[in-house]
Chain A
Amino acid sequence: MIRIDEAPWEAMLEHASRAYPNECCGAMLGRINGASEKLVTRAVPLENAFGGPQSARYEIRPEDLLAAEKAARAEGLTLIGIYHSHPDCDAYFSATDLKHSCPWYLFVVLSIREGRFNHACCWKPDPDLTRADREPMMSPKGEF
């Protein structure tokens, strides 16, 4: 279960709408509450470093992720996961997403249609990156 506070949620949606029609990406920092709940308290927009057209691709530079991880440590937070947007496409975990993901983190996908937020899903890849399961998600907009 992942729960996203209002401030990071708004920041993520704003980032995704601003990047439209391109994909955006960023890190989600927060706290782990017990065994099952992860709470996101801060969203850190990261640069989409994909070299080609970014309407359907994103890439995070490892050094940017390293910086986000350092920032999290400095604030006593934890890197919980990664968010990215799917412009004019549903919020599922695509084969490309899965192939280039990492099983250590949760992945929130935001579906943006015509520049506006439509829906979102959270995914957890398995250790061998062969599949990703839905992770229940609570946002200020409700449950996804």
Chain B
Amino acid sequence: MRRISPWSTPALIGFAILITFAITAGPILLAGASPIEAYYRFVVSPLTSEVSVLEVLVSATPILFTGAAVAIAFRAGYWNIGAEGQLLLGAIAAAGLGTVVGGLPGFVALPIMLAGGALAGAAWAFVPALLRVRFGIDEVVTTLLLNPVALLLVNGLLHGPWRDPISGFPESQRIAASAEFPTLIDRSRLHLGFPIALVVIAIAWYVLARTPAGLRLRAVGLSPGGARFAGVNVSRTLFMAALVSGAIAGLAGVSEVAGIQNRLTGGLSPGYGYTGIVVATLGTLTMPGVLLAALFLGDLTVGASSASRALGIPSQIGAIVQGALLLTTVALLALRRNRASRAADPGAGGSVAGDVATGEAPVAAETSSA
């Protein structure tokens, strides 16, 4: 690797965060607040009390799952934009199973919930994955379009068979006590979902970095043609990456239902699946990166709501920061890639399929390598 110090990954991400803060100074000034004070509120304040640190971890929990899910898929060059829908399917499964496992002790009920949610998420990822590996049909659009379908499914259940029979609210029945994730610390909302997310991240890190399956996945992402030439079953690897990604996104749904809502609700996810794309990109598709990025965004989420109370900055600043972070990070990654490919081979200019900076169409990638 050449020495590209100002372009090294940590420097680049830090730079993206700085640019994002410069961009979001505009809306903050518009709200009549001082940007410096606002950033202090966003980033530092949540870390100054135990209560709010625990809230940061609660906010980070769902996006740790979806961030890991998206990162695994993107790493393989499979552009799963459907984590949102896969999360909702996991939530449906958890809400459904949670009402029927009441007679079982927690150590039986909780694994059933987790397995059910993971299976449901993987099932929602199945059709786009099959279409991709069988027919080369671009998964970006198919995974994306299944998100609104999943939301319609949730709403259909809540306005139909699962509507609360007593209150008549569009909320499902409360799940059994043994199916709820226990809280880890008294008088906080921090629940079992957080350590489970850490375990998932650790396993994903180990598999990606240290096992043959992980090597195959990374090879397929870097160069499907090269991987195929080296004897890797590219279709199978992509297919497995897609299903694992869906399963982990499904766990996010289980975690929100069993740990926070205790039932299926329409507002269960304010776009955690899409935030997963921000987390994965900001974490440059590595598991330690995902961990840091999810904690950082959790910090910002808690900070944004405290800033909205203290400084009168609407809490939607959080979404602006997320959007700007995603755009600046992916732009800087693309600029780095352009630089590197110019330096390496002025004639090439081609891009790498598994590169988060570019992301070519699978159809094109496959025909060009065939």
A and B: real partners?
no
